[in-house]
Amino acid sequence: MGVARDKGCDAVDPDNVDLHLPNTGFDISEADMLRFNRDLAREAHALGLAIGLKNSIELFNDLADVYDFAVNEECFEFDECDAYSTPFIAAEKAVFHIEYVSTGRINEVCVVTEPLGLSTLIKNTALDARTPCP
pLDDT band at 124 (very low <50, low <70, confident <90, very high): confident
Kindly report, residue by residue over 7-36, the tens digit of the pLDDT. Answer: 999 999 998 888 787 787 888 898 999 999
**Whether 42 and 24 share a structural domain:** yes
Weakest-pLDDT range from 39-48, 74-83, 103-112, 119-128: 119-128
**SS3 (DSSP) at 40:** helix
The pLDDT, as a whole number, for residue 104 is 87
Beta pairing partners, 130: 123
**SS3 (DSSP) at 119:** strand
**Whether 134 and 72 share a structural domain:** yes
Domain assignment of residue 80, given as a range: 68-134
Integer Cα distance of 23 and 60 in angstroms: 21
Q: Are 73 and 98 in contact (CB under 8 A)?
A: yes
What does pTM read for this prediction? 0.89
Q: Are 33 and 59 in contact (CB under 8 A)?
A: yes
**Does position 103 have pLDDT exceeding 90, yes or no?**
no
**SS3 (DSSP) at 69:** strand
Kindly report, residue by residue over 30-59, the tens digit of the pLDDT. Answer: 899 999 999 999 999 999 999 999 988 888
**Whether 82 and 107 share a structural domain:** yes
**Whether 50 and 75 share a structural domain:** no
**Whether 17 and 48 share a structural domain:** yes
